[in-house]
Amino acid sequence: MSDETEVVTYETRGPVAVVMLNRPQYSNAQNSKVTYALDAAFSRAVDDDSIKVIVLGGHGKHFCGGHDIGTPGRDIHESFDRLAVIWYDHVGKQGVDSRFARESEVYLGMCRRWREMPKPMIAMVQGACVAGGLMLAWSADFIMASDDAFFSDPVVRMGIPGVEYFAHPFVMNPRAAKEFLYTGGRFDAQRAKELGMVNHVVPRAELEDAVMAMAERIAEMPRLGLTLTKKAVNQCEDLMGARAGMDSVFGLHHAAHAHNAEVGADSLAGLDARAMARANKAADGEA
Ligand code: ZN
């Protein structure tokens, strides 16, 4: 199940496609290989007329611990067949020319592409949903979480104002988003539900059944109606500033990366996955 060659699994259950991150040994850390495997799975679901709803989850203890900033499968210097194509390929380029290009494609561009998929998608979240994991869950239409789920975006610790897909002020209110980012601390599933980021919280053992029941209920609606409804809500969210805000914040995000690279050893302020986890645990009081 955790074979590194199959970093994303795909199965259908009647009208529901279940897409699962499959690097549980690394808390489902997202490298580019995962990004493109996710895209292939989503495309398969969108192209299959018998599929009405997509569920996005993760095998193992955690939904997703973030972008891959330290596993042996980290692949930031590899080229892939790009799909978002809002910038050119990053490989063989330097500095901002490389970093901005890469993150435009694999982070901002791909998450946006997935948010715009013409079929509803539910994120099924257990355990950690951290930093890059948030971007995946937020690309879905809504989140159903188990009672052990927690959410955090600790990248301010790197001097960076939040992850690349800056939906924070929209998935929760702006003041909560500030606390979320300023502290880098964990919001548990219940808090996330109170803030509107999560729709339902259920016991861990019941999560999958609850999500499937929801997906099957949605699947009873007509396909075109679902697609038009998804577009309707997304268009209104964009008119409230979601898309333009995200574009403007992406520039701030890259000012931070460039600053780190200019004054230090790398664009992540010298923090790898382990150092981040240590600092986050200390700040959370081992919570
Ligand atoms: Zn970044």
Give the distance (Å) from ligand 1 centre to CA of residue 257. 7
Q: What is the Cα–Cα distance from 156 to 163, expressed in whole angstroms?
A: 9
Residue 159 CA, ligand 1 centroid: distance in Å: 11
- Using the mean position of ligand 1's atoms as its centre, give its distance from the Cα of residue 183 in Å: 19
C-beta neighbour count of 231 within 10 angstroms? 12
16-21 and 150-152: which strand pairing?
Answer: unpaired
According to CATH, the topology of domain 8-256 is 2-enoyl-CoA Hydratase; Chain A, domain 1 (3.90.226)
Residue 242 contacts residue 167 (beta carbons within 8 Å): yes
**CA neighbor of 253 nearest in space, from 112, 99, 133, 83:** 99
| Beta-carbon contacts of residue 91 (< 8 Å; ≥ 6 apart) | 77, 78, 79, 98
Compute, in angstroms, the gap from residue 261 CA to the centroid of ligand 1. 12
The C-alpha atoms of residue 218 and residue 134 are separated, in whole angstroms, by: 23
Calculate the alpha carbon distances from 200 to 76, 139, 144, 195 in Å: 35, 17, 5, 12
Task: Please give the distance, rounded to the nearest whole angstrom, from the Cα atom of residue 237 to the centre of ligand 1.
Answer: 23
Dihedral, CA of residue 143, residue 35, residue 224 and residue 171, to nearest 10: 30
In angstroms, what is the span from residue 287 Cα to ligand 1's centroid? 27
- C-alpha span between 226 and 248 (Å, rounded): 30
Q: Give the C-alpha distances (Å, rounded to integers) separating 112 from 139, 141, 146, 225.
A: 7, 12, 25, 21
| Structure tokens, 27 | 């808390």
Distance between Cα 78 and ligand 1 center (Å): 16
Over the range 76-107, which residues count as b (16 or more CB within 10 Å of their CB) and which as e?
beeeeebebeebeebeeeeeeebbbbbbbbbb
pLDDT of residue 283: 83
pTM of this prediction exceeds 0.75: yes
User: Domain ranges in the chain?
Assistant: 8-256
Q: Are strands 150-152 and 187-188 parallel, antiparallel or unpaired?
A: antiparallel
Tens-level pLDDT at each residue, the chain (287 residues): 444 569 999 999 999 999 999 999 999 999 999 999 999 999 999 999 999 999 999 999 999 999 998 889 999 888 888 888 888 999 999 999 999 999 999 999 999 999 999 999 999 999 999 999 999 999 999 999 999 999 999 999 999 999 999 999 999 999 999 999 999 999 999 999 999 999 999 999 999 999 999 999 999 999 999 999 999 999 999 999 999 999 999 999 999 999 999 999 899 998 887 888 888 888 877 54
> Residues 6 or more apart from 146 whose CB is under 8 A from it?
125, 126, 127, 189, 201, 202, 203, 204, 206, 207
Question: Between the CA atoms of 90, 79, 57 and 68, what dihedral angle is there, to the nearest 10 degrees?
Answer: -70
Distance 50 CA to ligand 1 centre (A): 37
Cα of 243 to ligand 1 centre, how many Å? 17
Residues that place a CB less than 5 A from ion ligand 1? 103
Three-state SS for 187? strand
Q: What's the count of helices (H) and strands (E) in the chain, helices before strands?
A: 11, 9
What spacing in Å lies between the alpha carbon of 74 and ligand 1's midpoint?
15
